[in-house]
Amino acid sequence: MGAMNNEKNTDPAIRVVMLPRDTNERGTIFGGVLLSHIDLAGAVEASRHAPKKFVTVAMDKIDFIAPVNVGDVVSFYTHTTQVGRTSIKIHVDVFAARRGPLVEEQKVTEADLVFVAVNENGIPTPIRD
């Protein structure tokens, strides 16, 4: 992978309200639901670089820092950390806005993902033509 891009987005790639259908038996949001949204947010960021089809090839270790609750508005902020010939590395920071008398935003997790641009046959293709 090549050059770094440390420019961070101030607007989230996606923002989602967590619903009761997304909960586990303890009443908090399933980690897998968050992983799915992290993957989607990373794909949104990757698509900002080129009108290509990107597939996820890796997701780095993820630590769940705090639980996410029903009704929380979860924001997925992304920025590109590396762009290579066919691959791109995206960092995703995840924050939950808690409901209550004061809306409080708390970081709940983060992840690094690697996407590869592929052609219609699923073969890696250059990001830049």
What domains lie within the chain, and their CATH numbers?
A: 14-118 (3.10.129.10)
Tally the residues of the chain: 129
Distance CA 127, CA 86 (A): 5
Q: pTM of the predicted model, to two decimals?
A: 0.89
Tokens of 64: 């769940």
- Give pLDDT tens digits for 34-53: 999 999 999 999 999 999 99
Per-residue pLDDT at 98: 84
- CA 63 to chain centroid, in Å, comes to 14
